[in-house]
Structure 1
Amino acid sequence: MVLRKVFPAMYTLSEETPACSRNATLYLLRCIFLMGVRQPPARFFIVYCLWSFALNLSSTFYQPIAFLTGYISHLSEFSPGEFLTSLQVAFNALSCSIKVLIVWAFVKHLDEANNILDEMDKRLTKPSERLRVHRAVSRSNRIFFFYMAVYILYATNTLIAAIVMGKPLYQNYYPYLDWRSSSWNLGLQMGLEYFAMAGACLQDVCVDCYPVNFVLVLRAHMSIFADRLRQLGKDPDVSHEKRYEQLVQCIQDHKTILRFVDCLRPVISGTIFVQFLVVGLVLGFTLINIVLFANLGSAIAALFFMTAVLLETTPFCILCNYLTDDCYNLAIALFQSNWIDGKQRYKKTLMYFLQKLQQPITFMAMNAFPISVGTNIIVTKFSFSVFTLVKQMNIAEKLSKADEEDKLN
């Protein structure tokens, strides 16, 4: 009951309540605000600027540099498991920083997309239509909090593992801070790493979950639109002129859907492309770490990390495949409408519209390859290639022997 009062958009409203599709991204946009990439509010201008500076300095800009500098400074002190744990996160942190900058550059597109959703909501007149949107809104917000739970659990698990082992898990480089010199410095190093990683997880949730949130509510509107197309011309009391006006209105609805998609394309194209580039490599390092080097605590953290990495692309790729099917269903729904006894003008317009509906809505990753389940499987399979390469070259055994020799010396 308390949870419902705090997060009401997580729950499905009644069909009498007016539809508000933008609520599907309510908590997402609040977290994007916390990322410090929005225009500072006048009332808390200084506080917001300071928070934005601290978070983005530690998580967006310095964290990838801290990983690299840590490798250069203390590479010989890493065990194989610690090195792979740090390396897998380093690649993902770099990709996260790039995705944050992309969202930062196109954040106004998300606001514009919500404005278009408001236009779609005006066309919802039936209780069943409003209920369908309410369900999509609640599902979207629950998925957002699921993402948040997985990502934050990973960050917290790595902190616990670091405390148990008595050393920072990533061993990032911070100027004038030697965590080996005292327990105070060790605690400060762990705290700085956790703040940077928790901030990166918050950012990652936003840049990975926004496509899912927007496309889920889009699919609800497309399902309603399909029913609207199917009912065209089936009311015997409607005149031919009125039927033609209804068809033209449906064409306008379709244009609104395409505007919504075009609004999201630049953001989605960039962020998914970056993730596709690193997902196979990151998963490969994680598999090697889990199978060959990790202890129980590190293995649990790595499993949470692997789940988080798979969440970055897989759900949206599945939705893209469903979106293609939805487009074909729109064409089928229009064909199933009562167009046989329509006038010539009505039939010609309908045939032109039918051709447009048969063109599926697709998202491309920087115009290089389509975002789909097939592409996701291809890039994910690369992780097994990385694992196989390491096994065949006996790199794991060489690293283990080198680590044992260093301990003996």
Structure 2
Amino acid sequence: MVLHRLFPAMFPAKDTEPAKSRNATLYLLRCVFFMGIQSPPKNFFLVYILWSFALNLCSTFYQPIGFISGFISHLSEFSPGDFLTSMQVTFNAYSCSTKVIIVWLLHKRFEQANLILDQMDKRLTQPRERSKVHSAVSFSNRIFFGFMTVYMVYATSTFISAVSFGRPPYQNYYPFLDWRASKWEFWLQAGLEYFAMLGACFQDVCVDCYPINFILPLRAHMRNFADRLRQLGQDPNESPEESHEKLIECIQDHKVILRFCDTLRPVISGTIFVQLLVVGLVLGFTIINIVLFANFASRIAALSFMTAVLLETTPFCILCNYLTDDCFDLADALFESNWIDKEQRYKKTLIQFLQSLQKPIVFMAGNVFTISVATNISATKFSFSVFTLVKQMNIAEKLSQPSAIE
């Protein structure tokens, strides 16, 4: 099978093979490297520097400026659909650039988190334990390629839809370039915008998918950890000292899990906070465009854009809810272990450990609000408020008039 040879980490490994949780981020970290935000390799120093300069200049830094400049220069020439398409992408472009800069500053934490995953892997001795991690690794990589497909479909469908009507996708401003002057300049601008959007989508996949790629193997380890907790005290032949030693090892395992979350917490806090701030507004513009102005081709592009925007927060918010449930399962698993007949020292240690397990692992967005499904719903509900406001104020009818945006 071709895919199996090209992307082996997309498929579960055999239970006899050792667990490699870091493979859940294998393709993600390769793409982070191609974002041009890591230290240049010695063998390709100049090539990497040039690629990093071109990609980040076009996608990270100039693209948001180009959107605003395009509004100022050609606002009177925009149709309502073009205006809303550019507005929805402009807000998302600024958020994407901000998230890229956050990851740029903190990307070394990804390798630190992988080193902690390596430490967790050493505790896996049974085939059923390794099987859970192998499944999480393959699922994580498939999600990454799913994200990549959706984002690239949006960029390509928007490009095809726009050029088929004889205009660049977003009509950004480029100095000394007038796409109306000639076909050559038209295709040059359309190509520049397409390259910038492909680069932005490529970056967006990395900065949106990394929390999922790291949390999925963590959840597999937490399920294995719950099984180990249930087995505490079940061996009738072990001495009180051995039982207590196993309990201490489990406490150490829990500390490793918490250290893993603390390593990723600053990156997740920044990127999710930025996205939750703009998701409602972006979706609001997209819904207005789909319902009131877009033609068939534009609706396809807008729907793929809406899917991409929802993928930026929804899957990880769902995972955070599952992670909370996993923490409660750990407390239940420890309580279900055989502790009633143990010595007093064992019981005191277990009670303290149980209190620690009852505190769920929570990720905060900008240290302001909890990342959860409820928060995500509250943020996305704002899009309906934007749509309702536009309907009540008859803004759609005003935009449809020829002089509305002159």
Q: Which TM-score tier does this pair reach, normalised by the shorter chain? A: over 0.9
| Cα distance change of structure 1 residues 197 and 370 upon mapping to structure 2, 3 Å threshold | same
What CA distance in whole angstroms lies between the structure 1 residues aligned with 2:118 and 2:83?
49
Q: How many residue pairs are counted as aligned between the two chains?
A: 406
Q: Does 1:150 align with 2:150?
A: yes
What CA distance in whole angstroms lies between the structure 2 residues aligned with 1:325 and 1:126?
24
Residue 138 of structure 1 aligns to which amino acid in structure 2?
A: S
> What is residue 230 of structure 2 aligned with on the other side?
230
Shift of 1:283: 0.1
Q: Does 1:208 align with 2:208?
A: yes
Shift of 1:402: 2.8
What CA distance in whole angstroms lies between the structure 2 residues aligned with 1:12 and 1:247?
31
What CA distance in whole angstroms lies between the structure 2 residues aligned with 1:191 and 1:208?
25
> What is residue 394 of structure 2 aligned with on the other side?
394
- Quick check: 2:59–2:199 contact (8 Å CA) kept in 1? yes
> What is residue 107 of structure 2 aligned with on the other side?
107
Shift of 1:403: 5.3
TM-score under structure 2 length normalisation: 0.99
Deviation track 1:11-50 (CA, whole Å, cap 9, x = no partner) reads 0011000000000000000000000011100000000000
- Quick check: 2:85–2:170 contact (8 Å CA) kept in 1? yes
> What is residue 256 of structure 2 aligned with on the other side?
256
SS in 2 for 1:402: coil
Unaligned runs of 5+ in 1: none
Deviation track 1:149-201 (CA, whole Å, cap 9, x = no partner) reads 00000000011101211101200000100000000101001100000000000
> What is residue 218 of structure 2 aligned with on the other side?
218
- Quick check: 2:169–2:194 contact (8 Å CA) kept in 1? no
Residue 159 of structure 2 aligns to which amino acid in structure 1?
A: L
Residue 68 of structure 2 aligns to which amino acid in structure 1?
A: L
- Quick check: 1:79–1:403 contact (8 Å CA) kept in 2? no
Following TM superposition, the consecutive aligned residue runs of length 4 or more in structure 1 with deviations greater than 3 angstroms are 403-406
Residue 310 of structure 1 aligns to which amino acid in structure 2?
A: L
What CA distance in whole angstroms lies between the structure 2 residues aligned with 1:151 and 1:235?
52
> What is residue 44 of structure 2 aligned with on the other side?
44
What CA distance in whole angstroms lies between the structure 1 residues aligned with 2:97 and 2:368?
21
Shift of 1:341: 1.1
Identity of aligned residues (%): 72
- Quick check: 2:116–2:260 contact (8 Å CA) kept in 1? yes
> What is residue 72 of structure 2 aligned with on the other side?
72
What CA distance in whole angstroms lies between the structure 2 residues aligned with 1:229 and 1:160?
55
> What is residue 311 of structure 2 aligned with on the other side?
311
- Quick check: 2:75–2:405 contact (8 Å CA) kept in 1? no
Shift of 1:136: 0.1
Deviation track 1:216-246 (CA, whole Å, cap 9, x = no partner) reads 1100000000000000000111111111110
Deviation track 1:278-299 (CA, whole Å, cap 9, x = no partner) reads 0000000000000000011111
- Quick check: 1:80–1:403 contact (8 Å CA) kept in 2? no
Q: Does 1:161 align with 2:161?
A: yes
Shift of 1:405: 10
What CA distance in whole angstroms lies between the structure 2 residues aligned with 1:346 and 1:174?
70
Residue 401 of structure 1 aligns to which amino acid in structure 2?
A: Q
What CA distance in whole angstroms lies between the structure 1 residues aligned with 2:340 and 2:3?
53
What CA distance in whole angstroms lies between the structure 2 residues aligned with 1:11 and 1:376?
31
Q: Does 1:344 align with 2:344?
A: yes
Deviation track 1:344-393 (CA, whole Å, cap 9, x = no partner) reads 11000000000000000000001110000000000000000000000000
What CA distance in whole angstroms lies between the structure 2 residues aligned with 1:311 and 1:405?
32
Q: Does 1:132 align with 2:132?
A: yes
Deviation track 1:39-71 (CA, whole Å, cap 9, x = no partner) reads 100000000000000000000000000000000
What CA distance in whole angstroms lies between the structure 2 residues aligned with 1:74 and 1:405?
10
